[in-house]
Structure 1
Amino acid sequence: MNKKDFSIIPTESELAAMGRDLRFHPSTNTDPKSLTLEQIEQFNQDGYVAPLEIYNDSEINSIRSYFDDLLAQVMQGGGDSYSISSAHLKYGPVYDILTDPKIVAPVADLLGEDVIGWGSHFFCKMPGDGKAVAWHQDASYWPLSPSKAVTVWLAIDDADLENGCMKFIAGSQVHGHMTYRPSDSSEHNVLNQTIDDPESFGRRVDDPLKAGQASIHADLLLHGSEANLSDRRRCGLTLRYCSSDVRADLGWSQKGVLVHGQDDGSHWSNLARPE
């Protein structure tokens, strides 16, 4: 595998050169296997589905214990609580979560039969860390086209208003790609982009989740989160998926794993589970 650093965000000029299709592609599924028709309609109308019951208490406790150990190792090596990116390429247990039918089934209901899992990133806000995630669209960071991709946000810890749960601008995905500005240092943004005046694109909704629950949102949905000023950690695992007809530039196809159906174009590397 190419040793390209996939944690590096493509530049605006690199993304523009791709000539991407940045339109929202609603689900046309009339016979979902995991979601309900009402949830399909919610996704098409609001750009997200939540909450989804994924793991029971025993299962998520085991995942949390694994993450606790992994985080300790990463921080001991000089990383921080946001450093664990493209984790499915390095850690077998994260690969197992990315490919878990409990998560893949609702994703396939939204994206279609042929699904690629290509991203996995722990976003862990430590108690009182003070870092927010400014309003943004995932599609602004990804060299993918067409815009047929979603993020699953799996709650490792309880996520609520006090410790900085996600927030969405419902319906904003239908506006296509939005103009953003570089984040100001005073914003203490985990990322580096900010979209101003978010509520001009729709209504704000909060996304509190219990540990083991998940939400799914479209890559064009405007979203963010406030800083964690509580005395509790707020960790979530973001899992990224797209339909197999999506094309990735800048070598990102090497991140992709076939998780459902077929990849007829053999565009994605479909790497084996790491040991």
Structure 2
Amino acid sequence: MTQRTDAFPELQRDLRFFPLGVDQPEQLSTEQIEQYNDKGYVFPIDIFSQSEIESIRGYFDELLPKALEAGWNSYELTNWHKHCQGVWDIVTDCRILDIMEDMLGETVILRHSHFFAKLPGDGMRVSWHQDASYWPITPSKVVSAWLAIDDSDLGNGAMQVIPGSHLKAQVEFRDSTAEEHNVLNQTVEEPEEHGDPPVALELKAGQISLHSDWVLHGSEPNDSSRRRCGLAMRYLSKDVRAYNGWNENSIICRGEEPTGHWAHHPRPDGELIPVKDGSGDPTSVSMEQRDGGNGVRR
């Protein structure tokens, strides 16, 4: 199968890894920032208390069946911070933003949010890939925070990374095959050729991991009887530019972005479910309309 090294050659993106981190971090340690730049990831980082993550899990437990009813699958809840107060509140939580400010500086922009809910025995994996390979943005100065809504371990398909692979930046990939049952559509073969042996980012619910947009990562199917749900949040610095409309779903979480390149979505008025109609175009219906007035609130 044909190998490629650039999904968007026409954009002439800067396909390099850029070390991140401010000189005087306040939440992360210097060692954690060095770990991120040297290995491509940091974990675990405590964020939410047990009671807080139980509330978030309960919120998602209400959200997911409504999303399924609206036509989405458990891997398609993308950028719902634009529609749902509860999601917006998570991605703008001050504790997460404090960490991102240590990595990115005083201006922090959320570009993307994505729930990944691996249901027990659903057979889906995430093949080895690099996030930056998918994204029509440049330069690659993006930090992904992955929040464990459920406990995440190898038994239920935790994320694994190839330490040090981010230093190579873009590596060859191919289109995924149907037999892989890949949630995404790119696959990097022989990942250990690009770094150290895999490390599983096992997390307790309420913890986050950070990973570079260039580090190779993936996860195996969830063969357990337990769900594995997480929320991936992609934050970037203000000098990043996007193409193909990828600047339209953002939140200016901290600081200023005077050029107007990045959209800013304020906190939604309520909880809306984007409905996937037959054409694939989303429309919004409120939770209140769908459940007779008992909308989810946190």
Question: Is TM (by shorter chain) over 0.5?
Answer: yes
Calculate the TM-score normalised by the size of structure 2: 0.86
> What's the counterpart of residue 114 of structure 1?
107
Number of positions where the alignment pairs a residue of Structure 1 with one of Structure 2: 264
Contact 2:6–2:133 (Cα < 8 Å) also in 1: no
Contact 2:136–2:246 (Cα < 8 Å) also in 1: yes
> What's the counterpart of residue 87 of structure 2?
94
> What's the counterpart of residue 261 of structure 1?
255
> Is 1:234–2:222 an aligned residue pair?
no
> What's the counterpart of residue 7 of structure 1?
none
Is the partner of 2:8 in helix, strand or coil?
A: helix
> Is 1:61–2:61 an aligned residue pair?
no
Deviation at 1:215, TM superposition (A): 0.3
Separation of aligned partners in 2, 1:221 and 1:112? 21
> What's the counterpart of residue 213 of structure 2?
219
Q: Give, as a single letter, the amino acid of the residue that structure 2 aligns with 1:237.
A: L
> What's the counterpart of residue 125 of structure 1?
118
Larger mean CA deviation between 191-200 and 102-111 belongs to 102-111
Separation of aligned partners in 2, 1:269 and 1:27? 23
Contact 1:49–1:215 (Cα < 8 Å) also in 2: yes
What fraction of aligned residue pairs are identical, expressed as a percent? 50
> Is 1:24–2:17 an aligned residue pair?
yes
- Could you tell me which of 226, 235, 246 is aligned with 2:240? 246
Question: After the TM superposition, which parts of structure 1 deviate over 3 Å for at least 4 consecutive aligned residues?
Answer: none
Is the partner of 1:254 in helix, strand or coil?
A: coil
Separation of aligned partners in 2, 1:68 and 1:89? 19
Q: Which runs of 5+ in 2 are unaligned?
A: 270-298
Larger mean CA deviation between 57-66 and 28-37 belongs to 28-37
Separation of aligned partners in 1, 2:77 and 2:21? 34
Residues 40 and 97 (structure 1), Cα distance of their counterparts in 2 relative to 1, 3 Å cut: same
Deviation at 1:123, TM superposition (A): 0.4
> What's the counterpart of residue 50 of structure 1?
43
> What's the counterpart of residue 73 of structure 1?
66
Is the partner of 1:228 in helix, strand or coil?
A: coil
Larger mean CA deviation between 16-25 and 166-175 belongs to 16-25
Q: What does the per-residue CA deviation read over 1:195-254, in whole Å, with 9 as the maximum and x for residues that have no partner?
A: 001001111111000000000101011000010000000000001111011001111111
> Is 1:208–2:198 an aligned residue pair?
no
Is the partner of 1:27 in helix, strand or coil?
A: coil
Q: Give, as a single letter, the amino acid of the residue that structure 1 aligns with 2:230.
A: G
> What's the counterpart of residue 143 of structure 1?
136
> What's the counterpart of residue 96 of structure 2?
103
Is the partner of 2:211 in helix, strand or coil?
A: strand
Q: Which runs of 5+ in 1 are unaligned?
A: 1-11
Separation of aligned partners in 1, 2:40 and 2:46? 18
> Is 1:37–2:30 an aligned residue pair?
yes
Separation of aligned partners in 2, 1:124 and 1:174? 29
Separation of aligned partners in 2, 1:15 and 1:241? 21
Calculate the TM-score normalised by the size of structure 1: 0.93
Larger mean CA deviation between 121-130 and 248-257 belongs to 248-257
